[in-house]
Structure formats: C-alpha cells, structure tokens
Amino acid sequence: MTVRHIPGRVTALVSRLRRDREANVAVMFAIAAIPVLGMVGAATDYSLATRMKAKLSSGADSAAVASISQFSAGWTQAMSMTTNGPVPNGESEANDIFNGNAATTTGYLNLSVSSTVTKTGGTLNSSVQWSAQVPVVFMKVLGWQFMTITGTSIASSTLPKYLDFYLTLDVSGSMGLPSTTNEAVRMQSINPDNYKQYPTGCTLACHFAPQNSACTDSGTQQYSTNNYCMGYAYSRVSQSALSALINMRSTASVPKPVPGLPNAMVPGLPASLNTDPNWGLPAVANCPTDGTDACIQLRLDAVGYAVNQLFVMANQMEVVSSQFRIGLYPFIRYLYSSYSPLTGSINGNPQTAGTINYAAANLATLLDTNMNASLGSGGTHIDTALGSINSLITSVGDGSSTSSTLPYVFLITDGAQDNQVKGVPNGGWSGSNHATVINPSTVCSPLKNRGIVISVLYIPYVPINPANASFASDEDDYANNNIPNIPPSLQACASPPDSSGSYFYTANTPQAITNALKAMFNHAIMTAHLTQ
C-alpha cells in the first residue's frame, strides 16, 4: 500500500521545486552537480592511468630481471669485469627490453626510460626508471590534458663465484694401505715385504724404490726379492696370475721357492716382474676400482678416482669458463707444488698424460719411493705442507672475478703427523718416528686468519695389528695410541661450521671418499653463494 503513494509524492516534490523560483534551487543543484560529475570523471581517468601504469610496470619488471639474467648481455659483461662499476651492455639491454614490451601497449604519450645496471662485488643490480603521459577524457573539463605516470623496477642477482681449490694430498706411506678390508686381505696373501716382522702378512704396499732401502732378503723378506720391496709392484698386476706364479711348484727347468718367484727372475727384480719374457706380468698404471683381478686398489688409487669424479662434477656445475680452478699438491716431507698446479682445464682424459685428470688418476705413483726430491721421504709433514700452501696463496679475493678468486684448501690425509726424515735417495733416517698430530693453532690458523677456508677429509688411520713392539723403537704402538688424537686435531684445523654444515669430513671406503669430496665441493659453492 505504501508503494502506491510513492509516485504521487515524487510528482508533488518536483512540482514544488519548479514553483519555488525565489530559492534558486535549480541553479544550486546544477552548480553542485559540476564537481560531482568532475569527481566521477577524474576517477574514471585515474582508473585508466592506473591500468596503464600496471602494464608499463610489468614491462619494466621484466626488463630489470632479463637484463641481469644468466647469459644476458649485462651478465656476460659483468662476468668479464675485474672491477666494480656500471655495466653498459646491461643498461642498453634493459632499455631495449622495456621499449619492446611497451610497444605492444597503446594509449600513452611521451614515454621515456632510463636504466642503470651495476656490478658490486658478486652482485649485479638493475634499476629501470620510466615515465609516460596518459591522455584524459573527463578531466579536460577541469583544464587537464593528460596525467603523468612513473615507475621504478629493481632486480638483483648473484653472480657465480670464481673459486680456487688447493687439494693438499697426503701421499706418505700409510696412504699406500689397501683401500678396503677385502683389499687388505688380498695384499696380505701375496706381499713378501717385512714378512719376518709381520708373518700374518704385511698390508702396507712397501714402495721404497732403492735396493736394500727397506727390504732385504736376509732381514725382512719372505723369499728372495733381490733386496727390493715388492708390495707396490705386486698391487699393479693380475692377482690370479701373480698367485699362480708365486705358488707354482719348482721344477728342474724352472727352479723356484714355493712361495716365491722363479730363480731366473730374481736378479732382474723389480723390472723383471713385468718384463721377463717367460713370466712377466703386465702392470696397470692405476687401480680405480677395488676388488678387480687386475690390481689391488690402494688408498691413493681411491683418492685419485674420487678427485676425477670431482672434476666431472665441477665441469657440470661450471657456469663460466675457468670458474673453478683446481690444483693437486701432494706432500710427504715437502709440498710438491709443481706436480699439477691450479688450472681451469679440468675436463681432460685420465688416460692422457699432461692433464690434471691423468695426474689425479696416478697419485699412487707418488707414494714415498725415497727417490723424489720434490716430495722428500720418510715421514708425514702436514705442518710443512700447510705452511707451503699458505705461502703459495698470495691473495685472498671475494670470488667476484678472475683476479679476485676465493681460495679453498682441501686437506686429504689420515692425519698422523710423523716428523721422521729419510735422505733421498737411500739415505739415513733422522727425527722421531713416533706419530703425533698437528697443532691447529700454529699450523691451520694462519690460513684461516687470512680468510682461506680449510675443508678436511680424514681417511682414518688403520690400527696396526698385530703391533710389533720390537720394530723401529715400537713405532707400531705409538702409531696405534695416536689414533684417538687425530680426529680432534683435524676438526680444529678445519674452518668453523657454517649454515651449510661442518668442514670436517670422514670417509673410509672408496665410495665414501668420492661422496665426501663431492660434498666438500658442494659446500664450498653453497657457502660462496650465501656470503654475497
């Protein structure tokens, strides 16, 4: 019922407004309508300008990101820069990308853009600033012709780091132990070296090359070996063929001890093991896999194989040429700094001489032969090696360029510091042969204090069993008693843990060594990335 009366009331009110001329209500209503309509028009024009700003801002965002993306012109130029500063190629590319995006949009006037791309350390920053005018429709009533819109888009990216890896490799005698328990059993079954001191079988692949140096027929050997140590040479040949030869029965035509080698071979040892026209056994250069008949894998074989797997991983992860440089620095008494120094060429063939890959594969050939003056002989001088590495690293950069590389030292060792020395070649012994450990504060801190990261791979020292207390002033018991002291000393030598984990690793099997080296490499890359 109420609804029926509404039209009548509205009609009455309109009639009253027409008659009420003295109050000028109609004029006032018209005047009041102007700003209302102006506000509605301004809101419409503003909405159009806002939508245009969103489109252009999206293009600016894309330009800022694309101008510093991997392999963009700006990224490529920044990677070649050795100093901080503007990156002109990136700025041009950002402007071009923005203008290309804007060209797909209409409805603006007087578009301008200014981009800035700069490299600061390991960071690449891009800023795209723009402005444009959007014609108005309703606001022309108020005297406006256009609205000005502006925007700034900012992007940042972390450049890949240039890292140097100094692989400091223990190649002393204890690293000539077989790589696994099963390999040790195989070594014990065939090694004649030091048999009189260790009748259960010597697991050490004796490697002193000079005659009468560490193995003598009358004093140490199980059978005549021409006063040479044969363990290392035996580890390089077919085990089934060698076993058959050693255990072959003696005949009138081929007299020999059982076990032992044919009498005719003995005067020519050790070369005749491989060269004898009747009984010679071909030798392998290295032994990358344990459990094969072709050889017995030693610890340094396993380390060499793991290092080559590290090269494969580094090549896969490399973003720019020579981003990772790696060098091999073996040590015994001295650091062999010229063996295979830092190089970015890490994609060679392990079978090709002259490549770092070949040098890694053949680490076991560096076992203490008592012949290599570059390595010295007799002990394990970790302290000297790290001191030499510290001197070798002349500068510590932030990884932002090839002239400011960030150094990492990978120490790979069984951790037993042995201060004894043997003259090269076939010289006398001096210094204590009682195993000890390094002092981290004097040996490792000088490197860490310079900003050098030390990552340690501990390959556990194997207890000597049975220990021979009468051998070399009870060297065996001193070595065994020293084992519990090794992990704490190496942990203290390693750089402090960070958000990516500990820099101290332990591995005692070939696969574990490979996995640990890969983890150490990954850790270095992650930390270098996060610090920027």
d(CA 81, CA 122): 11
**What integer is the mean pLDDT of 292-311?**
98
What is the tens place of the pLDDT at every residue in 158-209? 888 899 999 999 999 999 999 999 999 999 999 999 999 999 888 888 888 8
Q: Which has the closest alpha carbon to 532: 41, 21, 245, 120?
A: 120
d(CA 173, CA 234): 16
3-class SS of residue 124:
strand
Fold held by 163-177+298-530? Rossmann fold (3.40.50)
pLDDT at 136: 87
**What integer is the mean pLDDT of 328-347?**
97
pLDDT at 232: 95
Q: How many CB atoms lie within 10 A of CB 464?
A: 19
pLDDT at 4: 38
Categorize the per-residue pLDDT at 147 as very low, low, confident or very high, splitting at 50, 70 and 90.
Answer: confident
Q: Which of 18-27, 215-224, 355-364, 401-410 has the lowest mean pLDDT?
A: 18-27
pLDDT at 466: 85
Beta-sheet pairing, 453-458 with 406-413: parallel
pLDDT at 3: 35
**What integer is the mean pLDDT of 419-435?**
93
- Phi and psi at 127, nearest 5°, equal -130, 125
pLDDT of residue 299 exceeding 80:
yes
**What integer is the mean pLDDT of 254-263?**
98
**pTM for the full model?**
0.83
**What integer is the mean pLDDT of 62-87?**
88
pLDDT at 158: 81
Domain boundaries, the chain: 31-158, 163-177+298-530, 180-293
Categorize the per-residue pLDDT at 29 as very low, low, confident or very high, splitting at 50, 70 and 90.
Answer: very low
pLDDT at 320: 85
pLDDT of residue 512 exceeding 70:
yes
